[in-house]
């Protein structure tokens, strides 16, 4: 599999913040021993930087946003940051993962995703912003 939604999340942050990086693809169905040695849970993605290993795409994304220069992707206010996370999880990630992981609910999942896209657009209009997040 060349596409992993979790790894893609972290990759998008690396690209948005223009952070130099190297991508190492692995077979998700048969993870190599060297990878399991670094990430015993086997979860992807895994950030390795200066001897530090960090799993979990949401954790990696927030870590990169807080530790690397460039435009901020999340609000700096803790309450606004928390609201954005809840908002994204409820209205974006949950519906699209239903489509990705459950082919029987494909049409229903996409309908929910597009309905929720309208909710996101309305929220952005209320905020007077084009994007969620810090920039």
CA distance 42 to 56: 10
Q: How many helices (H) and strands (E) does the chain have?
A: 6, 2
Strand partners, 54: 47
CA distance 87 to 52: 30
68 among known catalytic residues? no
**1, 4, 36, 124: the active-site residue:** 4
CA distance 8 to 60: 11
Task: Enumerate the active-site residues.
Answer: 4
């Amino acid at each position: 599999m060349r596409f992993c939604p979790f790894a893609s999340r972290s990759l998008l942050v690396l690209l948005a913040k223009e952070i130099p990086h190297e991508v190492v693809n692995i077979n998700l169905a048969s993870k190599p021993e060297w990878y399991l040695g670094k990430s015993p849970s086997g979860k992807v993605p895994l950030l390795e930087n200066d001897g530090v290993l960090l799993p979990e795409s949401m954790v990696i994304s927030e870590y990169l946003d807080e530790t690397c220069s460039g435009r901020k992707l999340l609000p700096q206010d803790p309450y606004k940051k928390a609201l954005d996370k809840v908002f994204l999880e409820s209205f974006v990630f949950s519906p699209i993962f239903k489509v990705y992981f459950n082919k029987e609910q494909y049409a229903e999942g996409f309908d929910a995703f597009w309905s929720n896209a309208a909710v996101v657009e309305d929220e952005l209009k209320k905020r007077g912003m084009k994007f969620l997040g810090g920039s």
